[in-house]
């Protein structure tokens, strides 16, 4: 009888120990990888290694989300850690077109990075993510940047997103054609919407910005600029939430429309 109890005790304890070990491993991997700005160095698929464009990067946040750039387009995804692995799922990206080399790299990185588990290996300031088939992504930790302040920064709009979660990057020819600057003293936001200049009241409180009715100039521009302008105008005369991530600002309306901007250097 005592022998049977001992055997039963061992059978119960072993799974518990294994489960605890698994949780500890996942937590350790998450702490090493999350909250770090990783620059993508290269991606290797079927033995062919492609060097990354300078824009390609990855950030995995503590809230279980990941954001980054594939080399041309920005992306966002859900991130989960388990047993020394990370898996990025439900990825969404902007829809810009770049030159062929960038697009080839982007396709390789996107296919390798998302929708399957990746083994995590860290060494010094480097990170390697490896698929079950042996394809791998090499990344290097970037020095931590100080977040740009909301006020006084020229925020250049880079992408707009609709309520379905689809984001579209602004064409390169529209670079700096849309931007916003928040002024704390006057309580206003000024800038350009793509075509016309804009001014509105802006009250910032508890992670939200209440934008007043916009006052704009009355110019007419080409179709793509006016499309950008109409998207940005929908954020005004209402309250948006905002998020700051180092040099990136994201504005999100109550119905899920977004505008992403970067701090102008």
Q: What is the pLDDT of residues 151-207, one digit of tens each?
A: 999 999 988 888 776 778 887 677 789 999 999 999 999 999 999 999 999 999 999
What span, in angstroms and rounded, lies between the C-alpha atoms of 257 and 88? 23
Average pLDDT, rounded, for the chain = 86
Answer yes or no: is pLDDT of 59 > 80: yes
β-pair partners for 78: 65, 89
Per-residue pLDDT of 215-231, as tens digits, reads: 999 999 989 899 999 99
Answer yes or no: is pLDDT of 10 > 50: no
Which whole number is the average pLDDT over 13-34? 59
Residue partners of 48: CB distance under 8 A and separation at least 6: none
Tokens of 166: 């689809």
What span, in angstroms and rounded, lies between the C-alpha atoms of 75 and 91? 7
Q: Do residues 141 and 117 lie in contact, with contact meaning Cβ atoms separated by under 8 Å?
A: no
Residue 112 has a CB neighbour count (10 Å cut-off) of 20
3-state secondary structure the chain: CHHHHHHHHHHHHHHHHHHHHHHHHHHHHHHHHCCCEEEEEEEEECCEEEECCCCCEEEECCCCEEEEECCCCEEEEEEEEECCEEEEEEEEECCCCCCHHHHHHHHHHHHHHECCEEEEEEECCEEEEECCCCCEEEEEECCCCCCCCCECCCEEEEEEECCCCCEEECCHHHCCCEEEEEECCCCEEEEEECCCEEEEEEEEECCEEEECCCEECCCCCCHHHHHHHHHHHCCCCEEEEEEEECCEEEEECCCCCEEEEEECC
Per-residue pLDDT of 89-105, as tens digits, reads: 999 888 877 889 999 99
What span, in angstroms and rounded, lies between the C-alpha atoms of 164 and 127? 33
12 vs 211, residue with greater confidence: 211
pTM of the model: 0.62
């Amino acid at each position: 009888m005592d022998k049977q109890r001992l055997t039963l005790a061992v059978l119960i304890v072993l799974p518990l120990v294994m489960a605890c070990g698994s949780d500890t491993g996942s937590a350790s991997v998450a702490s090493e990888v999350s909250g770090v700005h990783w620059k993508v160095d290269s991606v290797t698929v079927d033995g062919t290694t492609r060097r990354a464009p300078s824009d390609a990067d990855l950030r995995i946040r503590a809230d279980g989300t990941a954001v980054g750039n594939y080399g041309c387009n920005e992306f966002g995804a859900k991130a989960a850690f388990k047993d020394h692995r990370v898996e990025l799922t439900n990825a969404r990206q902007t829809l810009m077109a770049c030159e062929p080399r960038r697009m080839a790299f982007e396709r390789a990185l996107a296919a390798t990075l998302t929708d399957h588990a990746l083994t995590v290996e860290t060494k010094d300031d480097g990170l390697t993510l490896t698929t079950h088939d042996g394809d791998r992504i090499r990344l290097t930790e970037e020095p931590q940047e100080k977040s740009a302040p909301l006020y006084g920064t020229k925020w250049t709009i880079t992408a707009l997103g609709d309520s379905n979660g689809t984001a579209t990057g602004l064409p390169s020819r529209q670079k700096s054609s849309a931007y916003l600057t928040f002024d704390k003293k006057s309580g206003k936001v000024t800038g350009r919407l793509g075509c016309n200049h804009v001014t509105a009241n802006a009250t910032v409180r508890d992670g939200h910005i209440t934008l007043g009715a916009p006052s704009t100039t009355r110019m007419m521009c080409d179709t793509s600029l006016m499309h950008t302008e109409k998207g940005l105008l929908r954020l005004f005369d209402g309250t948006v939430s905002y998020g700051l991530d180092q040099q990136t600002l994201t504005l999100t309306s109550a119905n899920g429309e977004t505008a992403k901007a970067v701090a102008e250097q």
